[in-house]
Amino acid sequence: MGGMMGGGGGLGGGMGGGFVPIYTDDASTKLSDRVRRRCFNCCTTDTSTWRRSSLNPGKVLCNKCGLFERTHSRPRPEQFPHKRGPV
């Protein structure tokens, strides 16, 4: 079984390009090429704009969660119940 330890496999083995960025929902963390933002509520990492949470000071939210929190004074739910019927 000598062949099990070679090869590298791609999980952090070496100084090459393929690093995995660290994601943070802390608003005070300085961003870099290795540190990126993540929504505190829905955990998305891709949004048009980042917003600061008023319910959870020091945390960042994606655009959708931030606007929902501002207008409804509560966190945006994962799924919305279908309240509206056909008009």
Q: What is the pLDDT of residues 29-85, one digit of tens each?
A: 999 989 999 999 999 999 999 999 999 999 999 999 999 999 999 999 988 777 666
Q: Which residue has the higher pLDDT, 78 or 7?
A: 78
Architecture of domain 22-72: 2-Layer Sandwich (3.30)
Closest CA to 42 of 74, 71, 70, 75: 75
The span from the CA of 3 to the CA of 23, in Å, is 35
In this predicted structure, what is the pLDDT of residue 8?
46
Q: Does residue 6 carry a pLDDT above 50?
A: no
- Where does the pLDDT of residue 86 fall: very low under 50, low under 70, confident under 90, or very high at 90 and above? low
Residue 53, judged by CB atoms within 10 A of its CB (0-12, 13-18, 19+), counts as: buried
* Contact yes or no for 62/51 (Cβ under 8 A): yes
